[in-house]
Structure 1
Amino acid sequence: MSSAASDSPRSSLRPLKRHITAHDASGKGIFSDKVPSEAHVRQSTGGAMEFSLMYTNKHDPLRLADDADVEAYASYLKTPPALTIPGGTVCRTVDFAPGYTSPMHRTVSLDFGVVLEGEVELQLDSGETRLLKRGDVSVQRGTNHAWRNTSKDQWCRMLYVLQAAESVTLAGTALDEDEGGID
């Protein structure tokens, strides 16, 4: 997923912040200042989608000792990962422009997609569709799919958590990842 960064998002939705916790020397919870709280926005597909990388990890189980996970996440802010991280987890938000349909794509991961703002239609390569409204959750299990913002004038925001998985195998054939041109 390579794309030029933008300091001024086109989305009409409010900018997001992330609040990462840590520990002080005594073991009490504090808020980390190792990465800025403002979510960095990357535009993709001609500005019709905006990605904010909220958090990542590249290990299972996750390594929290000495803030190793925060350091790894900070490196992904400089060089964003593909849609997924092999052996890891990605948490991101995506804003979709009014009327926009994403490319059909498949990730080798278990994806939880939560509608935060607006409504979005989940389209499967079989032709089946479902309309998801605010608060609805989709559980993607390696299927080929696309997202369509059904509004003609409002942006839609989704929160995704993608956990790396083994490829889905049907009759001995693996269904590999296909990012469908999403950059």
Structure 2
Amino acid sequence: MSSNPGQISTLGGITRYITGHDTAGKAIVQTENPAEWKAYENKSMAFTVGYTTSQFPADLNNDADLKKHEEVIEAGQLGLVNPNGTVCRFVDFAPKGAPLMHRTQSLDYGIVLEGEIEMLLDSGEKRLLKKGDIAVQRATMHAWHNPSETEWTRMLFVLQECKPLVVGGQDLGEDLTQAHTSEFASNR
């Protein structure tokens, strides 16, 4: 196990390095810190946020993006998606954890970093994604399931809010009703 705060999986830790500029305009590492993890669903998954933005395009002047990111994290109200911005999140999935069918109102890039994961869709389709594979989730109802008996899976997600999606005259907004706990649905 990693010594990173709150980490529950057997996968290695993550350190976040945020770059910036010195007064001469040279690139520097402005902050460096280990990821802080939060467990969900009886420790069958854990999340850590790498970074958020709250507007698009991001405003890097005078560290406006960094200040807003810190404000969003300190408020403790970040959902799966950050309105008008982006969320970079790591998720560790326990072996044989229960899949949670859900939909976010966002365009998501989900990249498998370690292990394998099944992507389950509400149509009944499923695909096995392996290390290095990417899923581009376009506001679809989906779930993730780690089929391994023993190994954890780690994914990196980048979520960007999208306009409301309408299919067949029906508005398909965020749907977290199948999440097992209100903690998962309300505080990620």
Q: Which residue of 2 aligns with 1:19?
A: 17
Q: Which residue of 2 aligns with 1:121?
A: 118
Q: Which residue of 2 aligns with 1:146?
A: 143
- Which consecutive unaligned segments of at least 5 residues does structure 1 have? 1-5
TM-score with structure 1 setting the length: 0.92
Gap change, CA 1:80 and 1:115, over 3 Å in 2: farther
Which sits farther off after the overlay, 98-107 or 138-147?
98-107
Q: Which residue of 1 aligns with 2:8?
A: 10
- Which consecutive unaligned segments of at least 5 residues does structure 2 have? none
Q: Which residue of 1 aligns with 2:33?
A: 37
CA contact 2:5–2:35 (8 Å) conserved in 1: no
Q: CA deviation at 1:171?
A: 2.2
In 1: Cα distance, 2:133 partner to 2:49 partner: 21
1:160-182 CA-partner distances (Å, limit 9, x unpaired): 00011012111222101012433
Question: Equivalent of 2:44, from 34, 39, 48?
Answer: 48
In 2: Cα distance, 1:97 partner to 1:143 partner: 23
CA contact 2:44–2:94 (8 Å) conserved in 1: yes
Q: CA deviation at 1:49?
A: 0.7
In 1: Cα distance, 2:62 partner to 2:70 partner: 14
SS in structure 2 of the partner of residue 43 of structure 1: strand
SS in structure 1 of the partner of residue 16 of structure 2: coil
TM-score with structure 2 setting the length: 0.89
1:53-81 CA-partner distances (Å, limit 9, x unpaired): 00000101111111111111112332151
Aligned residues: 176
Question: Equivalent of 1:107, from 95, 104, 122?
Answer: 104
Identity %: 44
Q: CA deviation at 1:128?
A: 0.1
In 2: Cα distance, 1:166 partner to 1:8 partner: 34
Residue 28 of structure 2 is aligned to residue 61 of structure 1:
no
Which sits farther off after the overlay, 67-76 or 108-117?
67-76
Aligned Cα root-mean-square deviation (Å): 1.4
